[in-house]
Structure 1
Amino acid sequence: MKAIRRLHVRTVLPETLAPLHQLALNLRWSWHPPTLDLFESIDPQKWQLCRREPLTMLSLLSPAELERLAGDAEFVQRVQEAGAGLDRYLTQDRWYQRAAQDSTEAFGSAYAYFSPEFGLTAALPQYSGGLGILAGDHLKSASDLGVPIVGIGLFYKSGYFRQRLNAEGWQQESYPVLDPDDLPLALLREPDGTPSVISLAMPGGSRLDAYVWRAQVGRVPLLLLDSDVETNDASKRDLTDRLYGGGGDQRLQQEMLLGIGGVRALRLWSRLTGAPEPDVYHMNEGHAGFQGLERISELTQSAGLSFDEALRTVRASTVFTTHTPVPAGIDRFGVNQMAQHFGGSAQLPGVALSRLLQLGAENYEGGDANVFNMAVMGLRLGQRANGVSQLHGEVSRGMFKGLWPGFDQAEVPIGSITNGVHAGTWVDRKVFDLASEFINGDVLGSGGPWGHVDEVPTDRIWATKRELREQLVAETRDRLRKSMRARGSTSAELGWIEDVLDPDILTIGFARRVPTYKRLTLMLRDPERLAKILLDEERPVQLVIAGKAHPADDTGKRLIQEMVRFTDDPKLRHRIVFLPNYDIAMAQRLYPGCDVWLNNPLRPFEACGTSGMKAALNGALNLSILDGWWDEWFDGENGWAIPTADGVDDDRRDELEASALYDLLENNVVPTFYDTDEAGLPTRWLEMITHTLGTLGPKVMADRMVQDYTQNLYLPAARAGWAVSENDHAGARDLAASVERIRAGWPSVRVEHLDAEGVSDTPQVGESVRVHAYVALGDLAPQDVTVQVAFGRASETDELTDVELSVLQHVDSYDGGKHRFDGELELSRTGSLGWTVRVLPAHPLLASDAELGLVTNPF
């Protein structure tokens, strides 16, 4: 029989156990071992049955069991202490509050963080891969640091997908429906108890309604919008059913709900709770770009600003983070599609369709005039932008340099903040327990134990790594057994699984999404050579592999199938395993259990990659192509760099880089692992582990990342936002008028003549040159521009590199809008040098020389 109606009956806790409800709802439990211990102590068997999820655990308890627990004085005391501990965590001053007290400048009171996915815990599957995991770690570290962030995303009833394999090794997807009432979520409600609803206009005069769910991530609220509302038609109710599940209009409408609806959800949140309106809006990828359009619309209506004035206000307080190093990874919608969704009755008040289309236009060399580019809109809406590693910042500046014509690539205003990982989530309990035994202080705190790793005996480190391998072996066998049964094997055929993997063998992990550029099957380039490495009798190697392909990516699925067929070989299957349904729960066993983390993308297509960071924090060494974060922090002692073969065709490149991988395994990695002293300890390997933990530990922490965002982007954006908004947006009005005047007058700007005094026939270091620049400005005034002299090394073609810039001062004006600017150029370097002069727009509220994309050079 099937139920015709569902209702959710919640557990009623005795008053003495009431803190358990708050402890279960606040996702701090996902990175707080004492809270997990408390719930496990209720009933260890039920704890495993409910997959270690506190809210589910409470739902399994009968009234009699609750009564028994309420009568257990010791347990009640532990509950009360845990509740008090959570209260202290939520209210005490942390890094952000202390920094604000020590600063003479004002700090923001709230920052909005928009992301299409959030990877927080396996209990709330709202993520597909690295972007979501990064977003989850960002919120967790913001909570630990006390940074006042509020997250905004979508609630996907079927999440991404669950992966299983069929008998042929082909990926199969399923979409179990999530009941939000069973999850650590609370529905936003009006004072009268009715569910709160936000609405968006849709094409054809229709409307999209959405509920707003709140997840509490420590101190950070996360608002998730849900279109499964009875007032919507069937297609709109399904809009948020799946993460990245649809294309075309569905993807566009999801992003409209995230951006436009997300801002409306923030306003709702403030109205219901009194929370402050955000000072800064952070777009985690271009998916959330429409938030800027909604804010422009608000300002044109509430403050009476023009579109351009509102745009300047929004830009000042917006941060944009790009995560993709390839143009194909960017969302692009057709211009006609955009017109359908943002024109006519669906138009946002104050946002004319023509102005909107300009924001996402690829109006640069190589661009497509028929598409609307979400990343381009993000850059035009965000005064501050960054990539997620130093190399990715460089790649991004190359990708988007067409938006700033006339500027060198290095001057494109896209910086970088390298990603980090949340140690409390990803470092295994055994590692923290070992650190606690030998290191004083709070090893779970933001500082962590990394600076004191040398105080831990190496034999204990090695023993702990074996325990972690043993833990992974058990997990792998259990998951493999379930996978093989799903593929059609019977229990009688699976006795061989008891011999899969060995806790005393060098263990290599490889797990990630499976787009082509990540090269899942590079290791299979020479299958016989790989088999020989795996099966070596004296120095064997074992591989644990996992990954999901996008449901529409048949190429990725074929790569998985190729790998699975290799792992199915009876001669090899005890040494190499592919585990389906890679998720947070699997990762939390996989990273700690590996000795080596393998990563072999096509450089430079890995924006950052954080899986190797998580493995490193658990005492693993990285074996990776120099891409993403590894290009930045590989030092020769924390692992191995796989050489790259640039400049050859892809097939040849794969062959060369696979051969280099095999060489490293055979000649470096394997011998180092198995070369032991009289006590059986691999001394060189342990030296590399302790070096890795001590040097990489502080760098790869999400706490460092969030502090970087706060100090380098959030606080400057907040102050810029205040500057344009104060006094009835006087700054925004002035800036918009200045930009309009400068753009109109820029065609008349030119460098007419340059003079230099004091240059000898044989100039020497320490001499100076007096530079005179005669510049025609037309109707513009000297204060509308900055005149710079650029001095650097000159190539054979006179291209300048390693450039130093200095500003020339206005000294005289002449008839016809002509002016003279002077300055001193000190010859501080030797070699073949050169200089030039250029003119740039100037305004105190511009964030960079290149912000307006305007520059005039002498030639």
Structure 2
Amino acid sequence: DFTTPLELVRSSSLYTVHTPVPAGHDYFDEGLAHKYLNEFPGRLGITWQDLMNMGRENPDSQDRFSMSVFALNTCQEANGVSWLHGEVSKKMFAGVWKGYSWEESHVGYVTNGVHMPTWAASEWKSFYAEKLGDQVFSHQSDPKAWEGIFKVKDEEIWNMRTTMKNKFINFVKRDFKAKWLANQGDPSAVIKILERINPNALIIGFARRFATYKRAHLLFTDLDRLARIVNNEQFPVQFIFSGKAHPADGAGQGLIKRITEISRMPQFQGKIIFLEDYNMIVAKRLVTGVDIWLNTPTRPLEASGTSGEKAEMNGVLNFSVLDGWWYEGYRLDEKAGWALTDKRTFTDQSQQDKLDAATIYSMLENEIIPLYFAKNSKGYSPEWIQYIKRSIGHIAPQYTMQRMIEDYIERFYEPEAKRFDKISADSFKLAKEIAAWKEKVAAAWDGVKVLEVSTDRDLSQHTNSGEAFTTTIKIDANGLADDLALELVIDKVHDNQESRVGSVPFKVVSKDGNIVTFQLADKLRDPGVFRYSYRLYPSNPELPHRQDFAFVRWI
């Protein structure tokens, strides 16, 4: 049959969602789906409507078929790719499990990491092997393996950064001269750009897909102020941009065009540089060669981001919106990089963009640039080196591929593998039992009736903590007397917004055939305004979580 294999597939499947951006989730019209999938229901032993409902947030509706909903319905577990993205995903998918609030969702997270041996420059890998020992490669996710960075002399860190910066500048001069000559057509302008690339400047890199939510335009909100920053001869600053837009993303292509136009203005020539033909080689040179990695997405649309993690492995400091991985990374050590606040001031995005841009300018002018140029007699800023050491020692270990894989194994792979082994044993005995139980409950569910609700206090009228109450609810279980559970659900009301506080289970105090009596004797715990409700649901200890079979009856 179809339902038993579905239990097996679900128990061994994980859906990792990679973006909160709607365009990243595929939806298909039913007619198009039918053109390609019409033969499958017959082969599976289900109806066409059954198949379509597996991909609809609202079954038996005219919703388009969603691949994400289909994945959620055919995978036991789901996860976002950072803690914040996990929380966003809970909200985004809350409609799939309508009886449960987003706060109760089983959707978890594993923050992305990067493969350190690939993205750390060969010079840094040799440096780590010499200074920290080869154990840093076999124990990348262990912070203790990186502690040796704090014993390295400041001059050696600075010399490494200088070496990588010069390597990057030579790469730009060598690989982009011919492209610029071909595209710009003015040899004198190209030579002027090349001559102005300054190894003594603070070089800030920005490179990624030019999707509009990544806000590549943010730095150009106030060109006069930006011009003052990049043309300060005492404290030279240069910005390097690179990236590509999707062929169908006209807005993203427009951003690239605008940045290129600005880079050719006299006041920005050689100070703002756009590297064309973005690819993995250009990306690696950038994340190893610049001083700061800038990231300015519209929060919370950056699911994780990994370019800043790659920069981390190479002694490059992050300056980013508190979104994706940096929401967690910055909290590990706030003296290892810089962040724009995660608090939103304006609902109007254009106003928020202006504020964020002004904050970037201010932090550059008052914090970052002065810190970089607070150089001693040896030609480097000791405080800047401390930021680099803390970035490598405290943050880098947490964003390696090794740590990511360990998290997936611990949180998802091993638990699912154990459950799959359990329900598939003895010729799928338990899988068959679970499937049969779900069919039994589904068939009887509409016949379950609430016979009586009695309570000695109207909870909605009492807001004082410590008050005791007893509630008794009598149910006609319609054949499900051993399969039901009941709970008091508590939502706190604040500023006309409700948030789920938790739930308290009822006890079964009597069973008389199909008549089940539940009772809860408890007391109000917290002061404030709350909304109370009763939730009846099917209960089976073999389910992995409540959303696995999200039937709910509100009382």
TM-score of the two chains, using structure 1 as the length reference? 0.59
CA distance 1:791–1:685, shift in 2 (3 Å): same
Aligned pair in 2 of structure 1 residues 694, 829: CA closer, same or farther (>3 Å)?
farther
Matches within 5 A, 1:713-792: 713-749=412-448, 752-755=452-455, 771-790=470-489
Q: What displacement does 1:307 show?
A: 1.7
The residue that corresponds to 2:83 in the other structure is 390
Equivalent residues of 1:597, 1:622 under 8 A apart: yes
Structure 1 CA distance, aligned partners of 2:324 and 2:495? Answer: 32
Partner of residue 49, structure 2: 354
Distance of 1:466 and 1:417 partners within structure 2: 34
1:483 pairs with one of 163, 169, 179:
179
Give the Å deviation of 1:731. 1.8
2:58 pairs, out of 340, 348, 363, with 363
User: CA–CA distance in 2 between the matches of 1:784 and 1:318?
Assistant: 26
Residue 338 of structure 1 corresponds to which residue in structure 2?
33
1:810–1:645 CA distance, 2 compared to 1 (3 A) = closer
Q: Which of 367, 372, 378 is matched with 1:668 structurally? A: 367
Give the whole-Å Cα distance in 1 for the aligned partners of 2:34 and 2:529: 54
Q: Retained in 1: the 8 A contact 2:491–2:498?
A: no
Counterpart of 1:373 in structure 2 is 66
1:402 is aligned to 95
- In structure 2, the CA distance between the partners of 1:672 and 1:833, relative to structure 1 (3 Å rule), is same
Give the drift of 1:641: 1.6
Deviation at residue 377 of structure 1 after TM alignment: 0.6
SS in 2 for 1:550: coil
Paired with 1:577 and 1:368, the residues of 2 have a C-alpha distance of 51
Tell me which amino acid in the other structure corresponds to 2:268. Answer: L
In structure 1, the partner of 2:293 is: 597
Moved more, 434-443 or 384-393: 434-443
Query: Quick one: structure 1 residues 373 and 488, their matched pair in 2 at CA, closer, same or farther if it must change by over 3 Å?
Result: same
Q: Counterparts of 2:131 and 2:102 in 1: how far apart (Å)?
A: 49
2:310 counterpart residue number:
614
Stretch deviating more after TM superposition (822-831 or 467-476): 822-831
Show the 5 A alignment for 1:45-64: none
Give the structure 2 partner of residue 129 of structure 1.
none
Q: SS of the counterpart of 1:850?
A: helix
How many residues are paired up?
Answer: 546
Q: CA deviation at 1:310?
A: 2.0
Instruction: Name the counterpart of 1:20.
Output: none
- 1:228-377 to structure 2, matched below 5 A, reads 306-344=1-39, 348-350=43-45, 352-363=47-58, 369-377=62-70
Match of 1:651 in 2: 350
Q: Which residue of 2 aligns with 1:852?
A: 549
- The residue aligned with 2:515 is 818
Q: 1:665-703: CA deviations, max 9, x gaps?
A: 111111111112343331222222212222212211111
Aligned-partner SS, 1:487? helix
> Aligned residue for 1:517?
213
2:256 aligned to which of 547, 556, 560 = 560
Q: Is 1:809–1:822's contact at 8 Å kept on the other side of the alignment?
A: yes
1:809 alignment counterpart: 507
State whether residues 470 and 502 of structure 1, in contact with CA within 8 Å, keep that contact through their aligned partners in structure 2: no
Match of 1:466 in 2: 162
**Cα separation, 2, equivalents of 1:324 and 1:773:** 45
CA contact (8 A) 1:622 1:639 kept: yes
Letter of the 1:464 counterpart: M
Q: 2:227 and 2:324 mapped to 1: Cα distance? A: 29
Paired position in structure 2 for 1:842 = 539
Change in CA separation of 1:754 and 1:541 when aligned onto 2, cut-off 3 Å: farther
8 A Cα contact 1:800 1:834, kept in partner = no
CA distance in 1, matches of 2:424, 2:82: 32
Paired amino acid for 1:629: W
Is the alpha carbon distance of 1:729 and 1:359 closer, same or farther for their aligned partners in structure 2, counting shifts above 3 Å?
A: same
- Give CA deviations for 1:511-552 in whole Å, capped at 9, x if unaligned: 110111111121111122212211111111111111111112
Displacement of 1:557: 1.0
| Residues 385-438 of structure 1 deviation map (CA, whole Å, 9 limit, x = unaligned) | 011111111111111111111311111221111111111111112222222222
Deviations 1:29-75 (A, max 9, x none): xxxxxxxxxxxxxxxxxxxxxxxxxxxxxxxxxxxxxxxxxxxxxxx
RMSD: 3.0
1:455 to 2:151 alignment = yes
Question: Aligned in 2, Cα 1:627/1:738: closer, same or farther, shift over 3 Å?
Answer: same
Q: Does 1:588 align with 2:284?
A: yes
Q: What's the counterpart of residue 422 of structure 1? A: 115
Q: What residue is the counterpart of 2:384 in the other structure? A: 685
When residues 818 and 664 of structure 1 are mapped into structure 2, their CA distance, relative to the original with a 3 A threshold, is same
Change (3 A) 1:580 1:749: farther
Q: Select between 449-458 and 637-646 the one with higher mean Cα deviation.
A: 637-646
8 Å Cα contact 2:481/2:515 also seen in 1: no
Please state how far the C-alpha of 1:627 moved relative to its aligned partner.
1.2
Q: CA, structure 1 residues 539+608, in 2 after alignment: closer, same or farther (shift >3 Å)? A: same
Q: Which has the higher contact order (CA 8 A, sep 6+)?
A: 2
Partner SS state of residue 544, structure 1: strand
Cα separation, 1, equivalents of 2:524 and 2:72: 37
Kindly provide the CA deviation profile for residues 757-809 of structure 1, in whole angstroms up to 9, marking residues without a partner as x.
Answer: 9x9xx9999x7968554241432434312323446756587956432x45433
Equivalent residues of 2:184, 2:190 under 8 A apart: no
SS of the residue corresponding to residue 387 of structure 2 reads helix
Contact 1:525/1:655, CA 8 A, preserved across alignment: yes
Contact 2:140 2:400 in 1 (8 A): no
Q: 1:444 aligns with which of 137, 141, 145?
A: 137
Q: Distance between the aligned counterparts of 1:345 and 1:445, measured in 2? A: 47
The answer as to whether partners of 2:2 and 2:44 remain within 8 angstroms in 1 is no
Structure 2: gaps of 5 or more residues: none
Q: What is the aligned counterpart of 2:396 among 697, 705, 709?
A: 697
1:640 paired with 2:338, answer yes
Q: CA deviation at 1:482?
A: 3.1
8 A contact 2:7–2:431 mirrored in 1? yes
Distance 1:506 1:697 in 2: 22
Letter of the 1:753 partner, please give it: V
Distance 2:314 2:152 in 1: 14
